[in-house]
Amino acid sequence: MDAILVVNAGSSSVKFQLFEIGGAAGLERRIKGQMDGIGTAPRLRVSGADGKTLVDKKYEAAEVADVRTAMRTSGAWLREQHDIVPIAVGHRVVHGGPEYSRPITVDDRVLTDLERFIPLAPLHQPNNLAPIRALLSLFPQLPQVACFDTAFHRGHDAFADRYAIPEQLYAEGVRRYGFHGLSYEFIAGRLPEVASEIATGRVIVAHLGSGASMCALAGGRSVESTMGFTALDGLPMGTRPGQIDPGVVLYLIAQKGMSAAQVETFLYHECGLKGLSGISNDVRELEASNDPRARLALDYFAYRIGLLAGMLAAALGGLDAFVFTAGIGENSAAVRARVAQRIAWLGAVLDPASNAAGKTRISARGSGIALYVIPTDEELMIARHTLALLSGARRSA
């Protein structure tokens, strides 16, 4: 079968999904898997479209020591067990910089160009690019498509795109980019199907996961985001602080004697819910804890969401709906309830029963704004972009 492989790589794991091309929907998910514990305790886990386990295999650390080997091992399993050789691979790449505003087929030149943005997304960009480089060396003729988390936000107005700094820095690329764009693009496409009454209106989408941000949609188009130059800005996250006074960074360097590398590690790995609670970066653990610091972290999380929702509502000139998505947004009724309280001033009234049941619409009858829970699917979005680019290349050939 003709299929597209979608890859989302992290520092110690490679997640992948396989989509068959064809049928009424155009793309059908066939396989979902991941190789995690790379270099320490490698484990390949794969399930089929029905959710049943197809493989759960552990390896010695030396057998899968890096991303390149993880890709080769996962690919060999696909070929041997299912006789599947994808006709293209789509990748999530967090940062596209100022130049890349749409998906692009990657070659050595593009890959080298994208490596320039590693300092802007040090947690994500190197890991996103590693499997691309590995596949380029292993299968140089296999088309690979980079899909950028920043691309959906590239149409912002100039005043939403800039910082109040000299023009030269803006020309060099120091500007507000926004992230989680693949998630927001998917939700924008789903709204006409699941909530047609607000699809063309003023909507805030809250992508709440280990990484968290919010996006203001007007008519399905991004007009503002809580994230800026890097994925550190905006909402507090699992291990990142979100919005912080730049003076704090200066203090850490001048008064605490921290190097730039130490500050980077601190801001990306030691802050957020983890730093505030002193317990965990996992919302599930915080919700299960009786420690007052856990409650503080969760209350702070909801407070900042409510605070920045006001900013996005101002950018939109009002608000028609608020959408929860991603891991926390889709699964934590308690966080949704906390947030609903914080945006009650915008007209939100939660239906507790619908919220507890995880229904799609969770606002009460008569609520001034609609509240929705809509699962995101970044991998399907990547597969769609990859198929579109591949189809376009075939037509022009």
Active site residues per annotation: 149
- Radius of gyration of the chain, Cα coordinates, nearest whole angstrom: 21
Instruction: Check: CB of residue 49 under 8 Å from CB of residue 31.
Output: yes
Tokens of 308: 């920045």
Instruction: Check: CB of residue 163 under 8 Å from CB of residue 175.
Output: yes
Q: Which helix (H) or strand (E) holds 384?
A: helix 378-396
Query: How many C-beta atoms surround the C-beta of residue 243 within 10 A?
Result: 16
Cβ partners under 8 Å of residue 109, min gap 6 = none
Distance (Å, whole) CA 206 – CA 214 = 4
Summary count for the chain: helices (H), strands (E): 15, 13
Tokens of 213: 């941000």
Q: Which of 344, 334, 343, 337 is nearest to 312 (CA)?
A: 343
3-state secondary structure of 218: strand
Distance (Å, whole) CA 117 – CA 11 = 16
Instruction: Check: CB of residue 15 under 8 Å from CB of residue 9.
Output: yes
Four-residue CA torsion sign, 281, 283, 287, 293: positive
Tokens of 189: 């496409």
Q: At what angle do helices 125-138 and 67-82 cross, to 10 degrees?
A: 50
Distance (Å, whole) CA 376 – CA 183 = 6
